[in-house]
Amino acid sequence: VRPEHDRFNPRQWWLAAGCLSAVIILGLAGDSSGLLGPFLALAALCFLTALCVRPAALGLSRLLLGLWSRRVHVLINLKEMQRYIGDIQVALGALLIAVATAIGIGVMVDSFRASFTEMLTMRLEGDWFLQKDGDGFDRADLQVIQAHPTVAMLLTYGERTAWVTHRDVRDRITVGYISELDASVRRRYGFEQQIGDGEVMVSEPLAKRFTASVGDRIRLHTESASMTLRVVHIFRDYGRASPRVLMDQRVARELLDRTPMDRAFITMAQGDDREAMMALAAKQSWQIQSQTGLRTLALNVFDRTFVVTDALTAVGLIVAVMGLYNAITALQLKRDREFRLLRAIGFTARDLMRMSVVQSVWLAAIALILALPLGLGIAWMLCDQINPRAFGWSIPLRPSIAAMAKPILFGLIVAPLAGWLPALRWVGERAHKGQYAIRQDDE
C-alpha cells in the first residue's frame, strides 16, 4: 500500500490544472507586444501536459485491466504500473517535455524554412544581382547594362532613411525604392493590384512597430519634405527586423533629396552568356552574384543558423533519457523484495527483464503520445505568438511528418533500453552475489 502523501489526488490535480490553464489564458491574452506572457504560457502548457502523465497512465492501466485481466504477466505489469507511476512521474514528464520541445522547434524551423524559401523564390526571380559601392549606379552604368545584348529586363533598387509618425509613435525607418513598381515587382512581394501615387507597401516589422494595418495612412518625413501615404499591402521581410517601406523611385524623389541606386536585378534573354556578364562586372568593378547562387547562399546560412538549436535539442533529449534511466534504476532497487518473490514462484530472469521493458515502453508511449499535441502547441506559440512579437515576422504553421516523427522514434528506441538495462544490471548483481543463478531455462 502506497503512503497517503504519494497517492494520486484528483482534487489537487484539478486545482493545479486550473491554475496552469489560467496562466496560459492570461499569458496569451495580455500585452500583445511583450514576450513575458507567451513564455509564461508556454511554460504553463508544458507543466500542464506533464501533469497529465499520471492520470493518463492510471486510466489506461484500468482500461487494459478490463481487457486482459486473465493474463498473469499483463496483470502484474499493469498493477505495478499503477503502484509505481508516482516514482517515475517526474522523469516521464521530463521526457515528454524534451520530446515535445524537439517536435515544436522542428516544426517551427521547417515552417520557417518553407516560408523563407517561398519568399526567396518570389524575390529572386531574375538571373543576376549587381551591386556598386559608393554613390551607386549612375546613368552611364545603367546604359552599359541595358546595351548588353543578352539583358532582357533591368530593375534598380536603393535605400535611404526617413521618419515615420503613426498613432503617436515616431521612429526612423528604411525607405526602399525601386526604379519601377510594375506587376512583376509587386508579384515578388505578394501583391497583384496596381499601386497608386499615394500608396505604399510596408514590411511586417513596420506594421508591428507602428500598429499599422492595410488602409491606414502613415506620415513619412525628412528634414526637407513630408508626405502621407496609404498602406495597401504588408509583406514578409524575413532576415530584416528593421521597419521598411517600399515605393516607386518617382514617389521617393518627392520625399528624399537624393535617390541613389546601388543594387540592380537583371533578367537575361534566351542564351544567357555567363562569361560575358561576369567580364562586364569585373571591368566595371561591380559585385556580381547569380540569383540562384544568392538563393543557395541564403538557405545555407539559414540552415547553419539552426544547427546549434538542433544540437541543444538533442542534448535535452539525452538528458531526459538519462533521467528516465536513473529513475527506473532506483525503482528496480526499490522492487528488490518483489522480484525475489516472483523468482521464488517460478518467474525466470528473462520474465523479469521482459516485465521491466514492457512497463518502460508502456509508460514512455503514454508520454510520447502526450508529447505530440504539446509539441504542436509549442510550434504554434513560436510561430504565431513569440516570433511576431520578437521580430515582427509571421510564420504560417506547416507541420511536417519528419519534424514530428524523429523525436518520437528516438523516444520509442530508447524507452526499451531504459527498462532493459536496469533490469539486466539487477539480475547480474543478484547472480554475482549468489542469491540465485540464471538457470538454463532462462536462455
In a domain, 87, yes or no: yes
Q: Which of the four pLDDT bands, split at 50, 70 and 90, describes residue 323? A: confident
List the grid coordinates of 260: 541613389
pLDDT value at 234 more than 90: yes
Query: Tens digits of per-residue pLDDT, 69-127?
Result: 566 666 676 677 777 777 788 888 888 999 999 999 999 999 999 999 998 888 887 78
For residue 143, give its domain range: 133-285
In a domain, 128, yes or no: no
In contact, 205 and 126? CB cutoff 8 Å? no
Claim to verify: residue 168 and residue 234 sit in the same structural domain: yes
In a domain, 298, yes or no: no
Query: Which residues neighbour 232 within 8 Å (Cβ) at sequence distance 6 or greater?
Result: 191, 193, 195, 199, 200, 201, 214
Claim to verify: residue 146 and residue 237 sit in the same structural domain: yes
Claim to verify: residue 149 and residue 264 sit in the same structural domain: yes
Rg from Cα positions in the chain: 31
List the grid coordinates of 309: 538549436
Phi, psi (rounded to 5 degrees) for 8: -70, 125
Query: Tens digits of per-residue pLDDT, 137-147?
Result: 999 999 998 88
In a domain, 116, yes or no: yes
In a domain, 78, yes or no: yes
In a domain, 266, yes or no: yes
**3 state SS for 300-356:** HHHHHHCHHHHHHHHHHHHHHHHHHHHHHHHHHHHCHHHHHHHHHCCCCHHHHHHHH
Claim to verify: residue 261 and residue 314 sit in the same structural domain: no
pTM for the full model?
A: 0.82
Claim to verify: residue 174 and residue 258 sit in the same structural domain: yes
Average pLDDT of the chain to the nearest whole number: 84
Report the number of distinct structural domains present in the chain: 2
Q: Which of 252, 285, 318 is the last residue of a domain?
A: 285
DSSP of 127-153: SEEEE--TT-B-HHHHHHHHHSTTEEE
Q: Which of 285, 312, 336 is the last residue of a domain?
A: 285
| 3-state class (DSSP) for residue 24 | helix
- Across the strands, what pairs with 173? 162
Q: Which of 234, 259, 285 is the last residue of a domain?
A: 285
Which residue type does 111 have? S
List the grid coordinates of 67: 481487457
